[in-house]
Structure formats: C-alpha cells, structure tokens
Amino acid sequence: MHRAEKCTKCGCIEIVHRVMVAHDGQRGEANVSLRLDADPTAMFLKKSVRSIFHAEVCSACGYVEFYAHNPAELLAAFRDAPGPAK
C-alpha cells in the first residue's frame, strides 16, 4: 500500500496515513470505490473492475492524495476497453 512521505504542496513530513474514504449509506458506513468498465457500452456485462482507495492527508495544510489499492487491475480493464479514449 502506497504511503506519502512528504506533502507535495507544502513539504511537511507529518502525513496522516491510510485514511479510509467512506460514506454513510443506508446500511452504515462503507468504503467508496473506483469503478472502470472494460466494456462500457454493454447492456449488462460491462466487465467492471473496482478498487477501494485510501487517502494520505497532510497534517499542516490538509492536502489530500488518493491511492487505489489495485491499480494493476484497473490498468488491465483500461487496456481492454474499446474506443479512442486511451
């Protein structure tokens, strides 16, 4: 899991690591996830790949960086996707 060692905005080295990105839903708190569809035009089987992610937060200026937990799987779905958007 990637960790920020230094704030890219202010240079502070005190980073709050592994902050959960969550929302309060009807069934309680849950992770927010990224989703990429390898076949976005499909009616049903869009070959969706999901990844939760976490935040690294600067303790001085509050700047936030996000890191996906399975970027390789997202990349594979992106490469499989049709179309000129690559």
Taking the complex as a whole, the smallest distance from the CB of residue 29 to Zn ion amounts, in Å, to: 27
Contact residues for Zn ion (CB under 5 A)? 7, 9-10, 12, 58, 60-61, 63
Decide whether 53 or 63 has the Cβ nearer to Zn ion.
Answer: 63
Residue type, 83: G
Decide whether 9 or 18 has the Cβ nearer to Zn ion.
Answer: 9
Distance CA 86, CA 79 (A): 8
Distance CA 15, CA 62 (A): 9
Taking the complex as a whole, the smallest distance from the CB of residue 83 to Zn ion amounts, in Å, to: 37
Tokens of 57: 């937060």
